[in-house]
Structure 1
């Protein structure tokens, strides 16, 4: 979670007794983690690029220029907020830019294709 979203709220970060096993006092990762861990720590934005199967706007499957990648990242960050009170409601998620511009139109297109096959 920390590598993906950043540090949790200070009240959690400061109470985490085993934090020293993973992080230096400045919040950077320790160089020698003694536990099993994922060898590559990636922030959410980098994970999103990998999900889009491309490293450039031209090769990525997201509509990068149109804002799809950014809108989806904003949606996911909101849903993954550490503090539950800061997470959006289902109604807010459905009204988000990503859902309105990309997800729902894609779903409608898929529904129309399915009806044509009937």
Structure 2
């Protein structure tokens, strides 16, 4: 018994519709990221305040401002030269080959 090619194609498309999709959407990824960061903040800020007092909150706010400013500097650096994609690239542009190695070694050791 031979199957009709149109029926086979129709069955394959129905099977593909039933199979779960792999991956996630951009909006779900953003939602999960915000939930993670919010959860960490909800748990950590009261603990920080209980252990360090109000001064710790000022320190936490200062660290947040420093991280924001560092992000702006990295953005400027990456926009200035289109071939800069990683931290070692920034080190090479700033200090040559020695800068690239100096940044690469601790970065990759930390990942290891």
TM-score band (shorter)? under 0.3
Structure with greater Cα Rg: 2
TM-score (normalised: structure 2): 0.25
If asked which structure has higher relative contact order (CA below 8 Å, sep 6+), I would say: 1
Q: Which has the higher helix share?
A: 2
TM-score (normalised: structure 1): 0.24
